[in-house]
């Protein structure tokens, strides 16, 4: 299917902002020359109406927050990208329910202010809660999935509530129901001393700021295999400094690709660099690394 035209999308998308964007401008790594239509519904009712129509029309939809672990495509997207920042940004610390578009750092800061917490290791992950759940994001042995009690949203255009079990989660994996668009999550929080929790949050943010490479990036490229951290395997395989176009494996961290300037980068260059990193580790260590990114 070719990129839908704006006139039809105006008919399909109810009460919100519709605009044409390019992947390289909408994602943190800045990769992908293709275009897509982004729709930002003004509330959950608008989202429900649009999802119902998109389902009936058989059109693809992809919810995307800040694009912090997304690699764009050089091709146009045949569907609609949903930006839920306006519709799903509520927080209720008393119940632990928070909108899918709420950044984890904002949620944890508000929780600490209310003397609730227990997830301080996740504060530095630059993602929104819906996307974090979709990949069971984690850091330093802590994962978001272990604290999710229920998930609300729409499935095939209809309201749907999901109650995950521990079997639904694994390392960087969440077995979400098919065609499920998340609108909110209910997260288990612990009673804490707010001042101490705020200090833990600040400490983790400082650690992240000093240990991760600067510039355009999408976080860790590969998941850590059981044998050893992916960064160590990649460094031993001589991956630091590898370059394709304006993308380079960071000299600071071998499991990190950075964009060297503000110009767009192609998905083809990114894929070639990714495959070369993967090939070198397989050849040297006999381990096939798995991607941590979402490729469009």
Place of tokens 């508000």: 110
271: tokens are 């894929």
Q: Are 34 and 74 in contact (CB under 8 A)?
A: yes
The active-site residue out of 38, 197, 204, 292 is: 292
Q: At what angle do helices 194-211 and 104-113 cross, to 10 degrees?
A: 150
Q: Which of 120, 184, 220, 250 is catalytic?
A: 220
CA 197 – CA 234 distance, rounded (Å): 35
292 included as an active-site residue? yes
First CA to last CA distance, the chain:
15
d(CA 131, CA 220): 15
What is the token pair recorded at 166? 């521990």
Tokens representing 258? 């950075």
The verdict on whether 172 is a catalytic residue reads: yes
Tell me if residue 165 falls in helix, strand or coil.
coil
Q: Which two tokens stand for residue 234?
A: 């990649």
* Catalytic residue chosen out of the listed positions 172, 186, 244, 280: 172
Angstrom distance (rounded) from CA 56 to CA 50: 10
Q: 């380079």: which residue's tokens? A: 248
120 as an active site residue: the answer is no
**What tokens does 149 get?**
């009690």
Positions marked active-site? 172, 220, 292
């Amino acid at each position: 299917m070719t990129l839908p035209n704006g006139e039809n999308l105006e008919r399909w998308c109810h009460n919100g902002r519709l605009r044409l964007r390019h992947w390289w401008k909408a994602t943190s790594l800045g990769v992908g020359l293709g275009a897509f239509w982004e729709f930002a519904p003004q509330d959950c009712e608008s989202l429900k109406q649009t999802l119902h129509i998109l389902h009936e029309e058989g059109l693809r939809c992809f919810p995307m927050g800040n694009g912090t672990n997304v690699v764009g495509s050089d091709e146009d997207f045949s569907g609609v990208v949903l930006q839920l920042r306006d519709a799903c940004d509520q927080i209720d610390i008393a119940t632990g329910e928070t909108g899918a578009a709420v950044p984890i750092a904002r949620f944890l800061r508000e929780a600490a202010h209310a003397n609730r917490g227990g997830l301080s290791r996740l504060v530095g992950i630059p993602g929104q809660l819906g996307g974090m759940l979709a990949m069971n994001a984690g850091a330093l042995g802590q994962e978001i999935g272990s604290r999710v009690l229920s998930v609300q949203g729409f499935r095939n255009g209809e309201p749907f509530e999901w109650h995950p079990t521990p079997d639904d989660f694994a390392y960087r994996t969440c077995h979400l129901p098919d065609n499920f668009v998340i609108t909110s999550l209910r997260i288990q929080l612990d009673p804490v001393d707010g001042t101490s929790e705020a200090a833990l949050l600040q400490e983790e943010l400082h650690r992240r700021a000093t240990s991760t490479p600067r510039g355009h990036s999408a976080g860790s490229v590969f998941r850590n295999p059981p044998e050893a951290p992916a960064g160590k395997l990649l460094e031993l395989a001589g991956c630091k400094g590898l370059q394709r176009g304006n993308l380079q494996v960071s000299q600071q961290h071998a499991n990190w690709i950075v964009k060297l300037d503000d110009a767009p980068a192609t998905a083809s260059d990114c894929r070639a660099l990714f495959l070369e990193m993967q090939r070198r580790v397989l050849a040297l260590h006999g381990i096939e690394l798995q991607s941590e990114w979402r490729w469009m």
